[in-house]
Amino acid sequence: MIRLADIKKIYRTTEVETSALNGVSLTIQQGEFVSIMGPSGCGKSTLLNILGLIDSPSEGEYYFGDLEVAKYSESKRADIRKGNIGFIFQSFNLIDELNVFENVELALIYTDMKSKNRKERVMAVLEKMNMTHRMKHYPQQLSGGQQQRVAIARAIVNRPKLILADEPTGNLDTKNGEDVMQLLTQLNEEGTTIIMVTHSPHDAEYGQRIINVLDGKIVSENKLKAFQNASPS
C-alpha cells in the first residue's frame, strides 16, 4: 500500500540546515498495524506527517498505492488525504468552537457528501464509539478519553484505508489509553491499515511490527506477529 524509497527531509533556515529524515525506506502492506518508536526529535513525527501527506519530503520517492506522490502539490495531496487517510493526534486537535457531532462531521464536509448521508454516517460512527449521548457537547466538556474517542470517530468517519496515529494515548491515563488501543486494534481487524507513533513499548506491542527510528533513520525493525493480508488491495 505504501512504499518509501530513500526519503529525506531537510529543514532549512537562513543559518541552519537540519536533517529530520535521512534516507528512510519503508514498505507497508494494506491492513498492517505498524508502530514507530524512537526518542524525541528522532524524526518519527516527520515521518508520520510525510506518510499522511500533510508534509512533503525533500528527496526520495513515495508511492501511495500506485501513485508517486512525493512531488504532489498541497491541493493534490489534500485530495488524496480526504478520501484515504484518517488522523489521530496526541492532543486530539478537536475544534473548540464545534460540538462533538460537528467535529466528526467536519471530515465529511470536505468530501461534498450530501447532508443527509453525512448525518447518518456521523451517527453510525458516534454509536460505534459510544459517544451518541455526548454529541451536543463541546470538547472542553469532555474527558480526555472521550475527546480521543471523538478524534478517532472523526478519523474513521471517512472510512479511510489508512489511519495515522501520533501518540494517541500520550495525553490519557492508563484506562483510557487501553480503550483507545483496543479501538485501534478493532479497526485494524476490520481491515484498516494503521501506522502509530508512540513512546510507549506497551502500546507499540499492539502492532504487528515495530520500526525503530533514530536520528532520521530506521535503525531496526521487530516483527511481533505474522501479518496476514486480510483484504486484497
Partner 1 sequence: MWKNYLKVAFYSFKKGKLFSLFNLLGLTLGITCSLLIFLWVQDESAVDTFHQDSEQLHYVYTTQTIDGEVSGGLYTPALLPAEIKKKIPEIALATGIAWSTETTFSVENQTHKLRGNHTGEDFFKIFSYPLLAGDASTVLKKPESIVISRHMAELFFGSPQQALGKTIRYEDRKDLQVTGVFENLPAHSSLQFDCLLTWQAFMDDNWWTQDWGNKGPSTVVKLKKGADPEAVAAKIKDFLLAYDDDQSETFRTELGLFPFAKMYLYSNFENGHPYNGRIDYIRIFSIVALFILVIAGINFMNLTTAASLRRGKEVGLRKVMGAYRASLIKQFLAEAFLMCSLAVLLALGLVQLCLPSFNILTEKQIAIPWAAPYFMLSLFTFLLLMGLFSGSYPAFFLSSLKPVSILKGTLKFGRNALLIRRGLVVFQFTLSLLLIIGTFVVSQQVRFIQSEHLGYNRENLLYIPIEGDLGEKYPLFKEQALAVPGVEQVAKLGQSVTSIDNGTGGVNWDGKDPNSKVQFTHLSVGYDFLETLQLELVAGRTFREDYATDTAAYLVNEAALAIIPYEDPVGKRLAFWGREGKIIGVLKDFHFNSFHHQIEPLVVRLGEAEEGWDGMMAVRIKTEETQKALATLETIATKLNPAFPFTYQFAEEAHQRLYRSESIISKLSRLFAGLAIFIACLGLLGLSIFSIQQRTKEIGVRKVLGASVARIIQLMSSDFVRLTLLAYLLAVPLSWYVMNDWLSDFVYRINLLDHWYIFMYTGVAMFFITLLTIIVQTYKAATLNPATVLKDE
Q: Which of 18, 27, 111, 117 binds partner 1 (CB under 8 A)?
A: 111
Applying CB under 8 A, does 148 fall inside the site for partner 1? Answer: no
Applying CB under 8 A, does 118 fall inside the site for partner 1? Answer: no
Applying CB under 8 A, does 49 fall inside the site for partner 1? Answer: yes
Shortest spacing between CB 188 and partner 1, in angstroms: 21
Applying CB under 8 A, does 44 fall inside the site for partner 1? Answer: no
- What distance in Å separates the CA atoms of residue 28 and residue 5, rounded to the nearest whole number? 12
How many CB atoms are located within 10 Å of the residue 142 CB?
18
Cell numbers 493534490 label which residue? 76
Q: Which of 18, 91, 220, 233 binds partner 1 (CB under 8 A)?
A: 91
Shortest spacing between CB 43 and partner 1, in angstroms: 12
Q: Which of 79, 102, 205, 215 binds partner 1 (CB under 8 A)?
A: 79
Which secondary-structure segment (H or E) carries 178? helix 174-189
Question: Residue 141: what residue type?
Answer: Q
Contact 165, 203 (CB under 8 A): no
Nearest Cα to Cα of residue 27 among 231, 193, 200, 138: 193
**140 backbone φψ class: left, alpha, beta (φ>0; ψ -120 to 50):** alpha
Applying CB under 8 A, does 167 fall inside the site for partner 1? Answer: no
Q: Which is nearer to partner 1, 94 or 204 (CB)?
A: 94
Query: β-strands 59-64, 33-37: how paired?
Result: unpaired
Q: Which of 40, 66, 97, 116 binds partner 1 (CB under 8 A)?
A: 97
Interface positions with partner 1 (CB under 8 A): 45-46, 49, 52, 54-55, 74-75, 78-79, 81-83, 87, 89-91, 93-95, 97, 106-107, 110-111, 154
